[in-house]
Amino acid sequence: MTQTKRDRQSIRGYIVFTFALAFALYLAWLVRGVLVLVYVSALFAVVLTPVVRATSRLRVGRWHPFQDSAAIFFLLLVVAAALTGFGFLALPPVKRDLQSLNGELPTRLPALMANLSKIPFVQHVNSAAVITWIQGALSSMAASLLTSFKNWAGALVQIIAGFVLTLYFILEGDGAYRWFLSFVPVHSRHRLDLTLRRAAVRMQKWLVGQVSLMLILGLASTIVYLFLQVRYAYALGVLTGLLNVIPVLGAAVSLALALLAAAIDSWGRVLGVLVFFIVYIQIENYWLIPRIMKNRVDLPALAIFIGLLLGAALEGIVGALVAVPTSVLVTVLLDEYLVRKDEA
């Protein structure tokens, strides 16, 4: 009787656990947007915490000017100054050209179509229909921008919330991390702690290598754009460097924007931009990445590409942005808990 009673209690326990798990998954699905925001903020905090700590260790003689909160404030000032400088250099020519384009569009489109008609197979296109379609597309784009103000406001609120959460995780991340580990059984807690810390180190090394590649590409592209006299050279150079944080997709968007800006003036500049990207991709893949990223991420290109596709499919740009550090985390966890290693 005692054994039968225990079996019944065990079965009831399994049933209750199954329903509780299903209910928890249902709640997680309902608040999945908030959970994704918390995860992305925590991931950024893990990656950026060494930057804050390195800033807090700066000293002038025996004086430590920055504690953790002061270091964050100083870094925010640096970012604000960089954005202000970017605005002064990049935005005025864009604004000027947009204002002139608004008045000159009816006369510029026929000239653009005349240049396009010189390309094989394009001369058979009805230029008047194309001009009408472009004008209609621009008008509908402007209308959609006005009507989608609510969506833009919602996205801005999400960005601000993620930024605040990241700051909280940087300042109070150790306490939150210990609270998370408290849910793990004591006999497994030390192993999980070491595994997560190893993943954090690899993600931080990835950030160092990625920032180096972004700076190199941003400076090189700005110099080339200025040399080719491409419009919005400073803005395009900064965007090219920043978008390099997103593998594959960032380079494709940067190339499309640069080609579009170069095509406004001449096809020679388009050719120059294409040559620059082809040469740089070869240098980055065969010389820069093996030296800068070696022993930092230690992930095969296929794993990075699959992670990028999954991240972009699940959460769009944000998912693509955190695809590589998430792939590092998943790889370290799988390697620790699922991969069977040869003891020899």
- 40-56 burial: b if 16+ Cβ within 10 Å, else e: bbbbbbbbbbbbbeebb
Q: Determine the pLDDT at residue 336.
A: 83
Distance (Å, rounded) from C-alpha 334 to C-alpha 339? Answer: 6
Distance (Å, rounded) from C-alpha 229 to C-alpha 262? Answer: 9
Residue 124 has pLDDT above 70, yes or no: no
**Mean pLDDT for the chain overall:** 75
Long-range contacts of 31-36 (CB under 8 A, 24+ apart): 36/315, 36/318
Least-confidence region, from 91-100, 139-148, 333-342: 139-148
Residue 78 backbone phi and psi in degrees, to 5: -65, -45
The amino acid at 14 = Y
Residue 139 has pLDDT above 80, yes or no: no
Task: Decide which of 284 and 118 is more confident.
Answer: 284
Please tell me the pTM assigned to this model.
0.68
Q: What's the pLDDT band for 241 if we cut at 50, 70, 90? A: confident
pLDDT tens figures, 244-279? 877 767 788 888 888 888 887 778 888 988 999 999
Across 40-61, average pLDDT:
78
